[in-house]
Amino acid sequence: MNKYDKINRKLLALLLLIFIGAITALNLVAPDRTLSESENRMLEQLPHFSLKALVFGDFTLDFEKYVSDQFVFRDFWIGTKTDTDRMMGKKENNGIYIGKDGYLIQNFIPPAEEDWKGKVDAIHAFDQATPKMQKYVMLAPTAAALYQDKLPKYAIIGDQEAYLQKVKQWLHPNLRFIDVFPSLYAERDQPIYYKTDHHWTTKGAYIAYLELCRQMGLTPQKEAEFNIQQVTDEFYGSLYSKSGFRHIQPDRLQLYLPKDQEKYTVTYVDEEKTTDSLYAREQLQRKDKYAVFLNGNHARIHIKTANPSGRKLLVVKDSYANSLIPFLLKHYSEIHVIDLRYYEEDLASLANEQGIQDMLLLYNANTFFEDPSITNLTE
């Protein structure tokens, strides 16, 4: 080995030590962040130390999560890693596939039979506790069911549609299952799902609304009755955040605004806040632009419209319903919106006390099969 090789090796070693030292120093002095804008989630904070937590391993586990979340230039390193993976041909990260035409598609993992049957049993129990309400169940398929042809060839996705049909068959006949898969599939060439987000678009929600009206005997509003307004073309959604894939075209987000819009009031019950709009346009300046609909998710929302019919609707939902609910204002005098992930009261008592006639249970397939809060219907 000549002296130039030795000098080069020593120089590389020195540069490596300087780099490690600089990163360590930056990690020590950099303030902790509470929110990751790119990942759209709260970051781990420094865990409280106790001897008990240390002995049982809880402190070590939490501290490891904290260091990972607070690592300096975290977003840069994540982007670099996923860019490298893509150059090497990898098209999946964190359960998200990058497919054709720029679609990010979340994997569907088949649920255990006892889990989904337990949720259907909870719906049956709630039905018995509220016999005066007519109930409708809409479980929306995700892009994984509708765009299988856009997935990478090696991708293995569970048969989401088969499980939706199992739920339909397990439901009691008096519970009407609103099957929106055929209607959505027929329009799959339209922009009915976002490419970077797990939600359906407002167009997709409108198609589901048309099917809901058909099943409920309502006369739907025609698309020509709305001013369709694009409010942003820079929407990077939840799948973009979760996957870590970058250099992807953002989505456009539209609002369907009735041309003859009547006055209504929206009350966020727990927050004791009332507004005259279903849309929180300030959210368009933030990362989670889908929160423009109903200002995101809340435990309980009460909407009072100008409809004189006296009909009342209970919507038990996940965030898929947020972009569909605006279409329902023309058909009801009151709409009560409940998100069981945050609602802790007796829902059956609320429904009976308010004299609600109709109920719509609306979830996307992933949330229905994965989220345990649906069993809170009967608590």
Helix (H, G, I), strand (E, B) or coil at 320: helix
Give the residue-averaged pLDDT of 326-349.
Answer: 96
Of 202 and 2, the structure prediction assigns the larger pLDDT to 202
Q: Check whether residue 37 and residue 167 sit in a common domain.
A: no
Q: Of 50, 80, 101, which one is at a domain's C-terminal end?
A: 101
Q: Check whether residue 200 and residue 134 sit in a common domain.
A: yes
DSSP count for the chain of H helices, then E strands = 12, 15
Distance CA 201, CA 228 (A): 12
DSSP at 59: H
Q: Of 40, 72, 101, which one is at a domain's C-terminal end?
A: 101
Q: How many structural domains compose the chain?
A: 2
Opening angle at CA 326, ends 321 and 327, nearest 5: 95
| Phi, psi for residue 336 in degrees, rounded to 5 | -105, 125
Strand partners, 258: 226
Strands (E) in 125-264, as ranges, are 134-140, 176-177, 226-235, 251-258
Q: Check whether residue 96 and residue 115 sit in a common domain.
A: no
Give the residue-averaged pLDDT of 257-278.
Answer: 95
Q: Check whether residue 34 and residue 148 sit in a common domain.
A: no
Q: What is the pLDDT of residues 69-121, one digit of tens each?
A: 665 666 666 666 666 666 666 788 889 999 999 999 999 999 999 999 999 99
pLDDT of 344 > 80? The answer is yes
* Type of residue at 236: Y
Of 243 and 180, the structure prediction assigns the larger pLDDT to 180
Q: What is the pLDDT of residues 275-312, one digit of tens each?
A: 999 999 999 999 899 999 999 999 999 999 999 999 99
Q: Cβ-count burial of 108 within 10 angstroms (0-12 exposed, 13-18 middle, 19+ buried)?
A: buried
Record the tokens describing residue 115, joined without a space. 């889990």
Helix (H, G, I), strand (E, B) or coil at 26: helix
Distance CA 240, CA 247 (A): 10
Q: Check whether residue 65 and residue 152 sit in a common domain.
A: no
Q: Check whether residue 165 and residue 34 sit in a common domain.
A: no
Q: Are 376 and 343 within 8 A, CB to CB?
A: yes
Q: Report the predicted TM-score, pTM, of the whole model to 2 decimal places.
A: 0.83
Instruction: Evaluate whether residue 106 is within a structural domain.
Output: no
Record the tokens describing residue 103, joined without a space. 């679609």
Per the structure, the complete domain to which residue 13 belongs is given by 3-101
